[in-house]
Amino acid sequence: MLNRFCKLWPQTALLVRRSYRPRFQSYVTEFVHDKTAIKAISTKTLEHSTTTTTTKSANNLEQVSTDDTNSSTLEDADKWAWYNKQKQDSRTITPEEFIDTGVYIIKSRTSNTMTVARLQALLRDVNIQIQTTQDPELVKAFLKICNMLLSAYVRTKNIKDAKLVFDGLIASPFWEGNEEITTVSVVTLMYGILENGTRSDFYKFINSVSKQNKLPCTERVYRELLYILNQYRDVNACRHYFKIMKEKGLLVHEPPYKPMFQALTIENNSEEALELLQEMKEKGIQPTTGVYCMVLRMLHDNKKNSKENKERMEQVYQEMLDSGVELNVAVYISMGWDPLDALAELKKRSSAPISSRDYNTCLSRLIRTNRIQDALQLYRNMIKEGAAIDQYAYSMIMDAAAKDNDQPPEAVYEIYEEMKQQGLQLDEVAYTIVLGACAKEKNLTRAIKYIEEMIHYGIHPNQKNMNAFLAVVATSSSTSFNPRKLRDIWLALVSMGLQPDTRSFNIYFSALYKQMQLWKARGRSYYASESQEDSYGNPTRGPCRYMVMGYRAMKERGPSSRPDFATYTILIKGLACGGFTRLAMQIYEDAKNERVYLDVTAFNELIMALDKKGDLSDIMSIWYDMKLLNVPPDNTTYDLVMDTCEKLGLHETFLNIRSQRKNDFDRLWNKSNK
């Protein structure tokens, strides 16, 4: 009987048996690895966690907790339970209480489905109260909670439903007269489309809102619009909306000028940048160091009239010194200086100690130009000089050490320990890096230790931490993780409220497939008999069952977990390896329908499984699919297909494929010698 999975969360065993969404607070403190299981020796509750209240409401299946600073009352400990109690008592709820409840819902680590359902219920209640009281403060509360719902949809990459909410908002009578709140609505959806939509979607959205005259006339909306257009590298559109900002009188201080300067750097248009700089001075707007840096960079990078531009660069630099703005190392780097020389020059010119930001700028520049050794040496010099090293610098150095093949993982761990000794606040980024180092040396024990530390310091793991930890599990040399235990780890991570994305699923599937490969390498098969199939041919146990379950969950979760080429490749190879050829063929058909390009190894694994089952005609169908999809075969493919032709008596086809293989000799030779 399977040992209970390491008590990482006390209700994991129950979660394996039935589907619900609890949140857990007890975590493992020590794991013992042996040949058969991973056992938990003890568990402990987060020092930073607080009173957990389990509600009896049908709407409240999960446990809810808050920080110590906010948990002195029942309302703070479980705002949603408190809110439902007020409704049951027919008490009038104030606008502030509606907003506080909405904020609680967003911050609580429930599932996305639960978050959306609660916000929708809250909006219905606010709307009912608006109809009876006509309170303008309730209208503002309604709009703010709508923004929370927008944010919840964007967070799950569900732009379709986010647009439906937004369309309902601009069609409502509440839109006008609340520019401060509606600005948040527009900006939230703009960035949601930027991250999860297409360029066409974004332009369609902006044009639609502009035609309806619903675009709030605020500096923030247009400023963020310019920044997003910069992401699309659309300089002409930036000029268009910058001109509109001028006409509307929104250019009264420096921030909205920044994205326009940024757009000009795309074209390296130093002439227009100098004109814009002059315009700012004429309006009495003092350019910041950041603006001067962009202008200096454009003048340096503009190779036309290089002598004239060099003189202009010196003029702008002198003008900047005369203006009295802060001088930093980025100024010299923008003028083409080496980062280390720029730092030395700043030390000469400034009597004050070099700031952490200047050191970070140099470190960032060195790392981006792949000068890892120089970055590490600068870090050592900073320690010798007693320079202030902040959290950002430590994270950069850890990341640089992790990416440097000459640096062992221990170098990352040492920097992490130094960061702890300095008393700096640890965050999810630092743990993602150290977990990545654990994956590099396949050290599962250390990875579990870092997860434990995260919990000890009150840091809730995010999606990147989840993926990094799963990568350690997938690459671990330990064979004690059988598929069931791996499944339990997956469920435990999901139960924390983490939302797996495509990468998460791919790592999970890869780890399951690795287990099957381990069995195969030992000359055994995980699925020894067809009795492990149900009446529909689906696996009843083991890694293939978990693969199928995970694949179905992916398709239900939405855009953030959409299967990609790696997903289909791993699933086809895994199911084919397990002998579930029919399921592998179904997923292969899904990949074709989604127009996903598969690697030749996936085709080979599928052909071998079909050959084992005796489905020879399907092998030829796949061969012709490969030709249509322009997937170049390798030697294994040729061997398998030619063998099939012999079995089917397709003599002419056999000769044609053999001729094709001869013509393909050079490519196959180069591929085999890589």
Look at residue 526 in the predicted model and tell me its pLDDT. Answer: 61
Which amino acid is residue 371, in one-letter code? R
For residue 428, give the 3-state DSSP assignment: helix
What mean pLDDT is reported for the chain?
Answer: 82
Look at residue 674 in the predicted model and tell me its pLDDT. Answer: 61
Question: Are 116 and 159 within 8 A, CB to CB?
Answer: no
For residue 44, give the 3-state DSSP assignment: strand
Contacts of 24 (CB under 8 A, 6+ apart): 9, 10, 11, 12, 63, 492, 495, 496
Token pair in block for residue 444 = 């599962």
Distance CA 136, CA 121 (A): 20
The 8-class DSSP code of residue 532 comes to G
The secondary structure of 561-594 as a DSSP string is G---HHHHHHHHHHHHHHT-HHHHHHHHHHHHHT
According to DSSP, the β-strands at 31-33 and 26-28 are: unpaired
According to DSSP, the β-strands at 38-40 and 26-28 are: unpaired
Distance CA 379, CA 362 (A): 10
Residue positions counted in the chain? 674
Task: State the helix-helix crossing angle for 270-282 and 306-323, rounded to 10 degrees.
Answer: 30
- pLDDT surpasses 60 at 318: yes
Question: Are 301 and 266 within 8 A, CB to CB?
Answer: no
Give bridge partners of residue 539 from the DSSP assignment. Answer: 533
Average pLDDT over residues 332-339: 94
Residue 553's nearest CA partner among 494, 482, 471 is 494
For 12-69, the pLDDT digits (tens) are 333 333 332 332 223 222 222 332 222 221 232 222 333 232 333 323 323 323 333 3
For 247-306, the pLDDT digits (tens) are 999 988 999 999 999 999 999 999 999 999 999 999 999 999 999 999 999 999 987 767
Question: Are 134 and 520 within 8 A, CB to CB?
Answer: no
For 480-511, the pLDDT digits (tens) are 556 777 788 888 888 877 888 899 999 999 98
* pLDDT interval class at 473 (50, 70, 90): confident
* pLDDT interval class at 525 (50, 70, 90): low
Look at residue 495 in the predicted model and tell me its pLDDT. Answer: 80
Token pair in block for residue 299 = 């003048």
- pLDDT surpasses 80 at 466: yes
Strands (E), 24-158: 26-28, 31-33, 38-40, 43-45
Distance CA 156, CA 196 (A): 10
Token pair in block for residue 75 = 């309302």
Token pair in block for residue 606 = 């599928």
For 394-437, the pLDDT digits (tens) are 999 999 999 888 889 999 999 999 999 888 888 999 999 999 99
The 8-class DSSP code of residue 53 comes to B
Question: Are 461 and 427 within 8 A, CB to CB?
Answer: no
Distance CA 104, CA 118 (A): 11
Distance CA 426, CA 34 (A): 32
Distance CA 356, CA 374 (A): 17
pTM, rounded to two decimals: 0.68
Give bridge partners of residue 38 from the DSSP assignment. Answer: 33
* pLDDT interval class at 533 (50, 70, 90): low
Q: What phi, psi does 173 have (nearest 5°)?
A: -70, -5
For 111-154, the pLDDT digits (tens) are 788 899 999 999 999 999 998 888 889 999 999 999 999 999 99
355: region left, alpha or beta (phi > 0 left; psi from -120 to 50 alpha) = beta
The percent of residues above 70 in pLDDT, for the chain, comes to 85
